[in-house]
A and B are shown apart, each in its own frame.
Chain A
Amino acid sequence: MEKIKSPLGRVLIHAVLILFAVYSFIPFFWTTLQSFKTLKDANSRTPIFFFTPTWENYQQLWLRSVPENGALIAYFLLAAVVILICLLLFANYIPVRSSLIYAFVALGFAAILWGIPRLVDTAKFYDYFINTIIVTVGTVIVSISIGCLAGYSLARYAGYAGVVILIAALGFRALPRLAFILPYYWIGTATNLLDTHILVILTLVAVNQPFTIWMLRSFFMDIPRELEESAMVDGCNRLTAFYRIIIPIMWPGIISTALFTLLLAYNEFLLVRLLTQTNWTLPVAISRFTGGEDPRHLTLAAAASISATIPIVLVILFFQKNLVKGLAAGAVKG
């Protein structure tokens, strides 16, 4: 549509948008404030906007006891993280194969996460955070690798079976998860498999597979067949043509899909709530802060909410283009 040009119109447009932004943002704003208040300030019946911020809630959430040389450890960890992120950002300018650098960065982050509880006395919340990372990363890796193979073959195969699988997947995607989870729950209870990461990852992969193959297939459809056909004439078989020729140009599509899978796994509540007893991920751990007798639940819930949100906001800022592209692709292609 052509733009409204009158100054009054422009002001009104921005007024509406700003109002909607406030409406979208106000819970985040308020929770952030609450998370930095002392218990007394947070429970005040008239809202307090000006106060001396305290880290106490975050400290209680993440640490069992405060280490003496806490500041030193914090600076050390921060430096390590910054170095790793810089490596990631400038990987293309370093004269080493970038896959090696990515592997090194991944190992570095794993080492940091492994090292933290050995340096400081972390609380249960840290364990839930680690569980979440294991479940999320595991789900993304398994789901995307088998999903890529299936998505690619569904984009290239013209037979009847392909259509049947796609339509069945569409149907399964619409069904309530509880219909699958209750049998898992029964199997888990009967076989004592409950509370393991493997069960959670496999079931998350399964329930997200319909979405994954549809999305990856739509990206593979955009890649011309001639590409792998010429490679196969040159002597590649289909599998080598697939990972030498197709996968390298598919990265943007794979990242978009991986991002949605990551969000789905990170966000999952019902499935994890039923299939775990102590090895919770963050959504289940955080849901425990609601209600209850402990008066600290208000500020701790706020600190936990903000803590669980920051990693996701960082990931999204990093991959914002892929996210919007994926949302748009899902919408336009159905």
Chain B
Amino acid sequence: MTRGAFYRFAAPSIIVMILLMVIPLLMAIWLGMNYMTYTNISAPQFIALRNYIEVLQDARFWQSFRFTALYAAIVVPAQLIVGFTIALFLDQVSRFTRGIYLSIFLLPFIIVPVVGTLMFKQLFEPSGLITWLYQTILDTRFRYNEITVKALIIIHGVWYVTPFALVTYFAGLQTLSQDLLEAASMDGATRWQKIRHIVLPHVRSLTIFILLISIMDAYRIFDSVFILSQMNPIYKANTIMTYTFQTAVTVQRLGKANAMAILTVIGIMIVLIPNLIQSYKEQMEER
């Protein structure tokens, strides 16, 4: 394809991305350098890097950073372990049954996240099913407090994202080399040895893929926190995204919120850049 044809075909998409992604991002950097609330929205006041410094010294920002990190540190490994285990089990059943299981397993992931969270929350309402089980078994009242709300957000996170790892691993298991497995059986390898020495190396690149995607997703978790904590400060369950939202909408410090978003972008970029360089090399070789 000639260069001219390439640009003609790609133009609409490139224009949309420049107008609505590149320019807004540059604008966010600039907005972050202004003191701006809703009263002076058309005449923002330039204060250079003071918003950025304020964010870095804001104890509540670091508190929400810590909760986001805790969320990722629990949800990501749990998702990998549970997803891989269930994928191994699913691989054992016949083609027809596996279709039925798979469509049930996928439900939490496919559904509208806000709706999924609300359904999950229904179980923990005062009249909910799990609330009742909890109270019957432990004989104490189930209360919404800092610990239980944080726990609910994390448990919901695992429930919501595991299907993604499950499907990815399951697809990976389907491309496993049968010859290798047979050869291993000939040599008398046990099932556990086969998983350890054949399956796990085979899914290594998939694990890195899931890891990367789910760390990014954990970093920007918003919907479920919004619903489960109802943005109530007494639960201290803010994540970086909900805290940024709160700063923009509730506290009405638009400039500071933009500075926060840009700092988050920088944080993500640090994790992302090695991966981007890797993909860049791959694409350059491939072309």
Contacts and interface: CB of A to CB of B under 8 A. Distances in A.
Nearest to A162: B6
Contacts of B265: 175-176, 179
Contacts of A87: none
A205 interface: yes
Interface string B232-249: 000000001100110011
A209 B268 CA distance: 20
A282 B127 contact: no
B20 A31 contact: no
A178 B209 contact: no
Interface string A153-167: 110111101110111
B220 interface: yes
Contact of B222 (A47, A184, A270, A316): A270
B93 A17 contact: yes
Interface in A106-157: 146-147, 149-150, 152-154, 156-157
B56 interface: no
B171 A150 contact: no
Contact of A298 (B7, B105, B127, B244): B127
A146 B41 contact: no
Nearest to B287: A158
Interface stretch (A20-28, A51-59, A67-75, A92-100): A20-28
A177 interface: yes
A45 B126 contact: yes
A280 B64 CA distance: 28
B103 A312 contact: no
Interface string A61-87: 000000000000000000000000000
B211 interface: no
Interface stretch (B47-55, B146-154, B223-231): B223-231
Contact of B91 (A1, A14, A170): A1
Contacts, number: 292
B114 A287 contact: yes
B171 A186 contact: no
A4 interface: yes
A170 B276 contact: yes
Contact of B17 (A158, A206, A282): A206
Contacts of B14: 150, 165
Interface residues of B, number: 105
Determine the interface band of chain A, counting residues with CB < 8 A from chain B.
35 or more
A267 interface: yes
A236 B35 CA distance: 57
Main SS of the interface on chain A? helix
A265 B280 CA distance: 29
A213 interface: yes
A178 B118 contact: no
Contact of A334 (B115, B209, B216, B268): B209
Contacts of B91: 1
Nearest to A334: B209
Interface in B150-206: 159, 163, 167-168, 171-173, 175-176, 181, 185, 191, 194-195, 199, 206
Nearest to B13: A150
Contacts of B112: 266-267, 282-283, 286, 308-309, 312
B170 to A, nearest CB: 8
B118 A301 contact: yes
A103 interface: no
A20 B272 contact: no
Contacts of A25: 104, 107
A183 interface: yes
Interface in B251-286: 254, 257-258, 261-262, 264-265, 268-269, 272, 276, 279-280, 283-284
Contact of B6 (A147, A153, A177, A302): A153
Given A165-B10, A176-B261, A183 B28 contact: yes
Interface string A262-302: 01001101100010000000111011011100000010011
A214 to B, nearest CB: 10
A314 interface: no
Question: 3 closest A-B pairs (Cβ-Cβ)?
Answer: A206-B20, A153-B9, A150-B13
Interface of A: 1-4, 13-14, 16-17, 20-21, 23-28, 30-31, 34, 42-47, 146-147, 149-150, 152-154, 156-159, 161-163, 165-167, 169-172, 174-180, 182-186, 189-190, 202-203, 205-207, 209-210, 213, 238, 242, 263, 266-267, 269-270, 274, 282-284, 286-287, 289-291, 298, 301-302, 304-305, 308-309, 312, 316, 320, 323-324, 327-328, 331-332, 334
Interface of B: 1, 3, 5-7, 9-10, 12-14, 16-17, 19-21, 23-25, 27-28, 31, 36, 38, 41-42, 86, 88-93, 101-105, 107-108, 110-116, 118-123, 125-129, 132, 159, 163, 167-168, 171-173, 175-176, 181, 185, 191, 194-195, 199, 206, 209, 216, 219-220, 222-223, 226-227, 230, 240-241, 244-245, 248-249, 254, 257-258, 261-262, 264-265, 268-269, 272, 276, 279-280, 283-284, 287
Given A26-B129, A153-B6, 10 more contacts: A1-B181, A27-B119, A27-B122, A182-B254, A186-B41, A206-B16, A206-B19, A269-B223, A289-B118, A304-B115
